[in-house]
């Protein structure tokens, strides 16, 4: 079952203040790290970049221009994946510490029959729903997980979900909405998403620890 990855690196870094995927982490850019681990786990890699960006990093199979939203960018990447490919993995360049084992876990879950597989971590904090500054409900957390990338998909299920043109914060939500089966594999606490400058400092500390 041929497997390709789409590395989503088309963001403009609005919350960070600049495109964070090109920032260095211990001598290697975030996007370089994401491409390298995806390339080791998959048969092909499609890299999605912001308009006008020129790729000068590790080898990839294809480079495409992203769209105005994350979902549009993934759709642009998906269009470059050949029809013969059975499994597609979507990974955010903002998660530079994803391990090879995490890629393997989600890929194997899809090969075992799921339409999609996502890494998830238990939510340790108490959650409250608020309106304005007023708490209106305390939300039970026993059946909640915080979801990461890489996320793996049966290619046909991902294409069908994206054919609607809908937007979502992750691709698994689109597959869920289309009625697909999504399973959760254990996530990795070190698989941090870099959204602000402090996250980059934490990622550097986690990188020094390394993988077992």
Average pLDDT of the chain, as a whole number: 93
Q: Domains of the chain (ranges plus CATH)?
A: 3-118+146-209 (3.90.550.10)
pLDDT at 16: 64
Nearest Cα neighbor of 172 from 159, 156, 158 is 158
Proportion of the chain above pLDDT 70, given as a percent? 96
pLDDT at 212 over 60: no
pLDDT at 10 over 60: yes
pLDDT at 73 over 60: yes
pLDDT at 103 over 80: yes
pLDDT at 14: 61
pLDDT at 17: 63
Task: Return d(Cα 6, Cα 46) in angstroms, integer.
Answer: 5
pTM equals 0.93
- Helix extents (H) in the chain: 30-41, 70-79, 100-111, 155-162, 171-177, 197-209
């Amino acid at each position: 079952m041929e497997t390709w990855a789409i590395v989503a690196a088309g963001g403009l870094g609005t919350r960070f203040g600049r495109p964070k995927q090109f920032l260095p982490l211990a001598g290697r850019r975030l996007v370089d790290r994401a491409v390298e681990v995806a390339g080791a786990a998959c048969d092909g890699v499609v890299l999605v970049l912001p308009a006008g960006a020129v790729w000068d990093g590790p080898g990839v199979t294809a480079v495409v221009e992203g769209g105005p939203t994350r979902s549009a960018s993934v759709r642009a990447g998906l269009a470059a994946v050949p029809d013969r490919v059975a499994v597609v993995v979507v990974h955010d360049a903002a998660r530079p510490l994803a391990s090879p084992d995490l890629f393997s876990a989600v890929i194997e879950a899809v090969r075992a029959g799921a339409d999609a597989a996502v890494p998830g971590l238990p939510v340790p904090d108490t959650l409250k729903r608020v309106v304005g500054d007023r708490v209106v409900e305390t939300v039970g957390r026993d059946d909640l997980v915080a979801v990461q990338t890489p996320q793996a998909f049966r290619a046909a299920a991902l294409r069908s979900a994206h054919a609607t043109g809908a937007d979502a914060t992750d691709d698994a939500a689109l597959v869920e909405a289309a009625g697909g089966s999504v399973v959760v594999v254990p996530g990795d606490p070190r698989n941090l998403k870099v959204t602000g400058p402090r996250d980059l400092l934490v990622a550097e500390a986690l990188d020094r620890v390394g993988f077992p």
